[in-house]
Structure 1
Amino acid sequence: MGYATAHRRGRHLSADQVITRPETLAVEEPLEIRVNGTPVTVTMRTPGSDFELVQGFLLAEGVVAHREDVLTVSYCGRRVEGNATGASTYNVLDVALAPGVKPPDVDVTRTFYTTSSCGVCGKASLQAVSQVSRFAPGGDPATVAADTLKAMPDQLRRAQKVFARTGGLHAAALFGVDGAMLAVREDIGRHNAVDKVIGWAFERDRIPLGASVLLVSGRASFELTQKALMAGIPVLAAVSAPSSLAVSLADASGITLVAFLRGDSMNVYTRADRIT
């Protein structure tokens, strides 16, 4: 299996010296996702928690909703130069869906999924996402204390082990509304980090994720809000700013959107009634 970090030598320049020293870098590698043997997309990710990533991705795109929708997830062998045996390169994953679960339309996914760092954009997409979600986080009666939210970023930072060594990864974490951290994942792509924690819950049959908070280490984009909606998460919190479309989707979906969650302050853009 792949490693999350790699080591390279680099030249460090400061005001009074130039030195060559080893540096620890975050690994970025392609992962080809197949469904029932058919290639669907390739995403650039940091190796680790690949099974969670793929299942979280398929949940966020509306292909699956519950653990029983997936039969198996497995790495594929692939014949590449220097690997004539077809042994697994750990960069191709195939998901076998349960009977009756409709696979994604390959023609659509080839254009819709490939730019996963961008996601879908525009008013029509906002309406479409709201229609395909199988869960309604807007009806979740859970509340969370402001002081509990304020403590979450520090917990997330302490759990970012690879970021501490590389400075190069995004992170996402799931919390209960009582402040207990349930899972944290890191990745070169913020969308992948969210897919991984959602996939963690999916594998444990915890979807929809009621009475939970999704915290992301960067900004709150439309795509991340979409993923929270598809997983049934009632509260999305971000350390940085939200986008206008993220706020619109959160408002339409009844998701509490918190941003600029830093130190002793935060901005609450939607469903402020959940913050006590």
Structure 2
Amino acid sequence: MALQLVQVNFKARDDAALGRFWAEALGWGVSSEGPGVTNVEPVGFTWPDPVAVCADFVTVPDPETVKYRVHLDLATTSAAHQAELVARLKELGATPADVGQGDVPWTVLADPEGNVFCVLEPREIYRDTGPIAAVVVDCADPRAMARFWGEAIDWTVHEVSDDHASLRSAKGVGPYLEFLRTPDVTVWNRVHLDVLPNRGDDQAAEVARLQALGAKLTDVGQGDVSWVVLADPEGNEFCVLGRA
């Protein structure tokens, strides 16, 4: 029994506009499962597939402008590629962002709705991840988060320290999921992860397994829906999707 990390869910003022930005940024395609929801995924991609963690953008009333606990790191293949990507993203509407990073080799930007992300300098570890190098989560205890998420999803723990932990699909494809120790961790309520039971596994059984690992059922006003909202041991909300 295990779960697959399938997408990052962004709450947006304008899902279609934000989805178009990220589709252009990643070189991916755009689709929609209904009004107010925009899906961004690789062209020709059959969901779900561990080669990519997709992005969903959902319109909600007046999402706050804060530094959320989760952000994307984008991969580059050379210094020239990094510079070209940063320039292209600015043309699409991204703006420079200062989160106290100081003098670093990566570039911090904010998308048109203020979601911060990083364009990394070339790193060998991310050479085969696709355009998203990593989904990064600020946390208080990377070791504890690696223990929980390593048990929760079908991903392999690659690195664990007091300051940083990283996981990747057991198939060795797609982006990394990373946990970064950060002082004064903020609330994570407009960007969250969605996970999906493997084919043949039962959603209710997976929810019970996650609760045994330390997750808690959470009410965010979701009402009667096909997914289950939980919070991990640090209070980060995530959704366990149901299979159609």
The normalised TM-score by structure 1 is 0.21
Higher percent of residues as helix: 1
TM-score, normalised via structure 2 length? 0.23
Higher relative contact order (CA 8 A, sep 6+): 2
